[in-house]
Structures are given as C-alpha cells and as structure tokens.
Structure 1
C-alpha cells in the first residue's frame, strides 16, 4: 500500500496506530508528544508507558491509544541533532523502521508518523524529511501497509534548498498560468491536429473504429513485461494500492485517473515523450499549462525518478500527490 503526505493533526487520524515522537523515558513532553498524551488521556498513557521505559534511541514500543481515534500509539525515540556526526541519520532511520516492524508484527494495516526529531530535537527538517520518506519507502517495497506522514504546519515542511531553487527556475521557464501557451506546446498541438485531420481524410469513421490501439490497461501490462518488472514492483513503485492494481489488471477498459496514469509512467521509468504516449492511452497528456505536469516533466527528464521525491515536491507546492 502507498505512502501519503498530508497536513493535519496526527491525533485526529482514525488509523490502526499513530507514532509518538517520544523521549527515552517515554514521559510526556511538548510538541507532538504532549499533544498525543493530552488527546489519549494523560494519566492512562503515563501509566501504560511507565512499565515500558526506558526506550533506547532508534527503538520503539507500543501502547493502547485510549481516547484517541487510533487504536494504538507507537512510541519511537529519535536522535537529538548534534551536527550530523553522531549517527543521527542511522538512528533516525532505525526509529522509523522499528515502528514499521512493530506495527507489521502486530498485524496493523495503517500507520501515521509525525516528522520525528524535527522539533525540539533540532534535526534539520529537509534532512529529516528525506530520512523519513526513504526509510518508509524502502520498507513498503517489501511490505503492505498504508502509511501517512503527517505535517502539522506547512511552514515546517522544507525541501532541500538546492532542489527548491532548481524547481523554481524550471517552473519560471516552462510554466505559464495565462492563455499564452509556450511555442513548443503550440507546435505539438498543431502537429496532433494535422495528424488527426490527415487520417480522417484517408480512413472512413467505421474503419477507424476498427483500428483502435491498445487500451491503458493493455499498454500498462505490456510495458511491465517489457521492462522486466513484476506486478508487485510496478504498483509499489507507483505508490498504488494492490486492490486498485487488481482492478486495472482485470478490466481491459479500465479508465484511470490522470494521477494514477502518471504514477505508473513514473514507475515504468518512461521519459517525457514515452510518458505522453502512455498517457494518451487513457486520454491524457502532460500539459504545459498545469504546474503539476510541468513539475512531473522535470523529474521525468532527470531519468528514473522516485515517486516519493516527486510527491515531496508536489506537497511543497500545495499540489495533489500521485498514487496513494
């Protein structure tokens, strides 16, 4: 199942478990930790934690959720930032993996994380985000779970500064919000119109209806085989739920959302031109008048992009995510 990034209050989510950014003593703290204790019931959660601590950095323990909508709370201890030279990245990654493994061992299907260690522990937010997405993404390559990364305040959400500069420069060059479509798009549109017009002159309508090309589903399954991927690898790379993929596989005429088609274009490692051809099987194309499409084209041009990295950028620009 996929990884999603949302803005919200983790204490309000109705999932199997939420993760608390805990301290080693499992005591009530401030920030996310304090909010979780308050929402769950301070005394109940204090009593439950009392017999479980101390908990080492990088490890996690689980208690009931008490008054929370979530059934359980997983208390994960992240590292304090000390300049990045004291195994902080390794320990933070392990805190995520320990939580995920604990949830999987308990048979949980859905889990929500805050951005661990990025508050009073001082871990740089852009680096904390990268560790979180990488650790969760790696886990989901082998496991089935619905995982949500909850950002409480968008002001605290940060991409790596060089990436922000690069994306903003690319957007200024390729994206327009007004009616003046870039020249390359005008030429492409003209080429398509001329192609369709020429074909319509040669072939009667009835003949053209008998010469329909592959559907989206047929094309997707063919490309998965041609790329040497398994079905599981393909839908996980696309950040798509297994149930949705089963629907696509079983229905030759399945009509996907554009975000779903784009997610599979990324999973297949297509370049921008190949992606446009693939999207056309579902009736879509990459539009220079869509900020989302322009951002996605940027990543496609870089070659074999990771969908979670793309979703980070989309979230940063307040745009809908892919997959999930």
Structure 2
C-alpha cells in the first residue's frame, strides 16, 4: 500500500494511492497516526479508504513529505560511497577501520523535510550543493534493544530520501570533529509516498537485503546507479543498532546512507580529484528513482544571501576566585 500526504485546494490530507487517484483517509488521521496504529491496523484503515469514494487525481495534488517524522537518523551504510566522499571531504584515501565495526549515523533536522516537486533553495553561503540518493525505513512499532529479527518486524515501510548536502560547509565543519551541522540541516526530501513493508515481502535476499535498483539524474542525465542490496548492513541491523540502549518509536525515519556508484556528486569528486560533474546550481532538476517505491524530483533555486558570521572572540582565561 502507498500512503501519501497531499495538498489539494488548500487542504492538507492523508490518503492511499489508487490507480491515478488519491483515496482520502479520515480528516483527523495522518500518515504518522498510521505508523502509531501499527502496520496491520494501518492496512485495515487503508483498505477501507480504497473501498470508499475516490478523491482527487494524483496529477492535481501537491505531494508533501509522506509524514512528519519525530526523528531522522541517517546512516552511512554503503562502503563505495564512503570511499569517495572521505577523499572529497577530508583528503584521506581509505575508509576508517571503525566504519566496518558497527553502523554509524547522525541525527538530521526533522523540521526541514520537503516533498517531491518542491523547490530546493541553495543554502546560505553554499557554493558546492550536492544530492544524496538514499532509501529510508520508517518505524511502526516502538522498541528498545531490539534483535535484528524484532527490528525487521518493527519496520512499517520505505520511502526515498534525498539527504541534500552543502559540501563546502560540511568540509569546514568536519574539521572541528563535530557535525555535520549547517552542511546538512537545511533540507531533506522524503517521498513521493510511503510504501508499506508488506509490499516487499519475499523480495529480501538470503542475507536480509532488498535488491532494489536506484538511479539519480540531473537535468535528465544519469549520474548514479546502484542496488540497495549493496549496503554493508541490512535495514534490520540498522534499526537494531539504533535501538541499542535507547528507543525507536513509530514514525522515526532511518536513512540507508547514500548509495555508491554516483549516488552523490561528492563521491565522484573524491574519485576524480575535481568538481566533475559540477555542483548543483539554480535551474538544475534532480530526479531520483527507486524500484518498488517511485520517483522524486526537485529543482534547485537561488537561496537567501548568507549573513556574515562573527569569529570567536580571543579566548579568555579568567577564573572565579576561590
């Protein structure tokens, strides 16, 4: 089942995707509410919507991010991506041994979600804007210290994630050994909808990976192509690790990390030693497609000018009197 949040004639609704149409859910029900209901209950409610009167045509609505996630964790689970981006951001030529020991993630901004079709303003001060092609799992069952088997059952569904990156800002921030911060928190695309996990039953390989094709193009020219199954860990392992010593809750979004083989420009810049292809600029349209999920498209537009940032003051050494 494909669950969407959309805007039509000024009204925001949640609905189920039918054949070219939206089938609205009750007005007081959001996609986040469905994740809290759990997958079996959400499917029952979705089937009831599909049996009701059809809503607007898909072509007549603005698709919003499918849900407003309480938290967004973004992993870095593709070794090929790490190889190229590490070289681009820090100049190192090798993947850190620690990458292989356990999945690594950072928390990004849940208030900066945009949908397919939305414009992507260049963030203030950025001259090296980049896309990042990912798939995200959405949680549908609360849990802590989950086993991989429990974590697999906790996944409600999947959506496409574009973890936009300001590479020049990120490069400076990472030298402080903290972050990324403003290199990342300005926007992430989720969409076009949330595909429930039952749609992928029987599609996992023997090791628990989903072999879904992933592609990204800029202005119609393909830049990257990979398989989701090239992750270093399957989603069940990522969710289990995220729950270690803490909780994952319904609606939480967990990104796979950027795929390899051109899943972002930064990987290619690191491999080629130059900004080729060039950074994104206003007017560029970025299209991402994932097998079994769908397609998202965003066009880059000019952003606001950056305000000057005051440098740190000379470091004081005053101490309180004893």
In the superposition, the TM-score normalised over structure 2's length comes to: 0.23
Q: Considering Cα pairs closer than 8 Å and 6+ residues apart, tell me whether 1 or 2 has the greater RCO.
A: 2
Larger radius of gyration: 1
